[in-house]
Amino acid sequence: MKQYIGLDVSMKETAISIRQDGKRIWRGKCASDPQLLAAVIRKRSPQAQRVVFETGPLSVWLYHALTAEGLPAICIDARHAKAALDMAVNKTDANDADGLAHLAEVGFYREVRVKGFDSMLIRTLITARNQLLTMRLQISNQIRGMMKTFGLTVPKGAGGVFERNVRELLQDNNRLARIIMPMLQAWSDIRQQSAEMSKQLVAMAREDQRCRLLMTVPGVGTVTATAFAAAVEDPANFKNSRSVGAWVGLTPRRYQSGEVDHDGHISRRGDSRLRGLLYESAAVIMNRSRDTSSLRAWALALKERLGFKRAAVALARKLAVIMHAMLQTGELFNPHQAKPVPA
């Protein structure tokens, strides 16, 4: 007999529901530990066909751990499952597990591709680096604002210039220096750590052939190349390059009902950080790049008709398509054709 399992995962406990022949045959709870969960599933459901759970903070770790235990783990889109789970009158972990088990049995779910640990390490490094850069900017702005209250305006400058200017202004103000200097020291430490993470990122990009290939595209730097390679992983994960733009959330929404049919703003689904990096690369191509590639010429012509923001979004979508095609074929970027060409 085929059995189907739904797991509603939380930090401490996981609700388990097992269905067979259209009926629930068992449900209970277990600590959110893959080995304990695997032991319970083997005991209660020796013929498990699908073990379904939603996307969440623990989904990557849980998926790989359950798969290593030999279980048919399936991670499904939480937004897709929400519509079905909201049909329950009472919202409880047990009812959510029942709903997930029901989805597993009827096959009405959208499976999510779970990234490997190597890709997640790269994404974690990028996220941590961005967080440190944000903290560094916030602290420097706080220092400027507090010193301005006492008539001390820090001149423009970043990095060592900023630190030197602050120290010079505080030389004759010991009382204020006792307040500002600890913040300046924290800013300096964060600056040093973010620089170390940047070095790690550059080293990863140099060792990865995919990143070196993607960085031949104008406007695409180390961060964008590594983020894109880590997100896509295997180009074969996509049916074609055009689908990457939709996956990143850079294609317009569509609403059609009866005689009404119109497109809206972009969907903004998928990886928001990668979408932002692609947009930044598009902005660099349009505003800072001096190359004469047909890609930039196309974007600037679009800017004249639609404005900067829409043209940048369209260029970001085109970059996603081109970069996936490059990973798929292993070919270099040709600035005169705006598409990959043989190396």
The pLDDT of residue 264 is 77
Q: What is the pLDDT of residue 337?
A: 67
The Cα-based distances of 224 to 141, 176, 211, 248, 280 in angstroms read: 26, 41, 9, 13, 9
Closest CA to 14 of 35, 33, 30: 30
HSE-up of residue 332 (Cα within 13 Å, Cβ side):
7
pLDDT for the residue numbered 341: 46
Pairing of β 48-54 and β 73-76? parallel
Residues in the chain predicted with pLDDT less than 70, given as ranges, are 337-343
pLDDT of 254 reads 79
Question: How far apart are alpha carbons 85 and 189 in whole angstroms?
Answer: 47
CB atoms within 10 A of CB 253: 13
At position 112, the amino acid (one-letter code) is V
| Domain 3-106 is found in CATH 2.20.25.90 | no
- pLDDT number for residue 332: 86
User: So what's the pLDDT on residue 38?
Assistant: 94
Q: CA dist 74 to 45, 53, 71, 145, 331, Å?
A: 16, 7, 9, 51, 34
Burial of 52 (0-12, 13-18, 19+ CB in 10 A): buried
**What pTM, to 2 d.p., does this model score?**
0.83
In this structure, the number of other CB atoms found within 10 A of the CB of residue 217 comes to 24
Residue range 258-290, pLDDT digits in tens: 878 778 788 888 888 999 999 999 999 998 877
